[in-house]
Amino acid sequence: MMDVVEVGLLMSNSYVVFDPDLREAIIIDAGDEADKILRMIEKNDVKVKAIYATHGHFDHVLAVREVKEQLGCKFYIHREDLPLLERASESYMKLFGEERLGPPAPDGYVSEGDIIKIGDYEMKVIHTPGHTSGSVCYVIEGAVFTGDTLFAGSIGRTDLPGGNLQMLIDSLTRKLLSLPEDYSVFPGHGPSTTIGIEKLYNPFIGIGGLYREKHL
Ligand SMILES: [Zn+2]
Ligand SMILES: [Zn+2]
């Protein structure tokens, strides 16, 4: 089971994913508006054991400190996005001219192939560099949480620090589009979609898309 709230000026999605019987949960991205995220947790009556970031951009991590303090949970991210995590508060300042307390240091790191237990369920980590070098997606029960790697009808930008277009296309075509077509996609911004829909209609990686590879 999952629930979502949209947070912050850049409208990023903060998801809670949980075992509906055991009520054990994790949060995927805590970008801003900790109070809104905490209300979602309370509403679903779950116990959060950790926050997992899809990547280190400020719009995905700026509420981690407060949510972590309130819930007493752990925080994980891919090691390669540590420099971005450390600059999150500075990047926010540059864009919005407002001082914000940055995210805390992570309690540990996620990497390709890691299995995360959520009650009786298992969530798998796939490393999908391109939008940032430490971008990851989380796969669980017919769903994939894609952060800023894949959106409904779009793909992540690669013009920000750490971005690499060739790597992004590689991650998308080899790792994400190879998932079953009926898998739901829950992106870091905007509405959900499915692997099948993006494989057909995504203007970048869908049929006839800008970066579509011949072998697909
Ligand atoms: Zn991003
Ligand atoms: Zn974002």
For residue 34, report the distance from its CA to the centre of ligand 1, in Å: 18
Confidence at residue 215, expressed as pLDDT on a 0 to 100 scale: 46
> Which residues sit with Cβ closer than 5 angstroms to ligand 1, an ion?
57, 148
For residue 6, report the distance from its CA to the centre of ligand 2, in Å: 11
- What is the residue whose two structure tokens read 């509405």? 191
For residue 134, report the distance from its CA to the centre of ligand 2, in Å: 13
For residue 114, report the distance from its CA to the centre of ligand 2, in Å: 23
Nearest ligand atom owner, CA of 132: 1
Q: What is the rounded distance in angstroms from the CA atom of residue 101 to the CA atom of residue 108?
A: 20
Confidence at residue 162, expressed as pLDDT on a 0 to 100 scale: 84
Alpha-carbon distance values, 44 to 35, 37, 40, 172 (Å):
14, 11, 6, 32
Nearest ligand atom owner, CA of 134: 1
Taking the chain (216 residues) in runs of 10, the rounded mean pLDDT of each run is 97 98 98 98 98 98 98 98 97 95 98 98 98 98 98 96 93 96 98 98 92 64
Sequence spans of domains, the chain = 2-201
Tokens of 136: 């990851």
Q: What is the rounded distance in angstroms from the CA atom of residue 170 to the CA atom of residue 129?
A: 9
Confidence at residue 216, expressed as pLDDT on a 0 to 100 scale: 46
Tokens of 143: 């769903």
For residue 3, report the distance from its CA to the centre of ligand 2, in Å: 18
* Topology, domain 2-201: Metallo-beta-lactamase; Chain A (3.60.15)
For residue 26, report the distance from its CA to the centre of ligand 2, in Å: 19
DSSP secondary-structure letter at 199? H
Confidence at residue 35, expressed as pLDDT on a 0 to 100 scale: 98
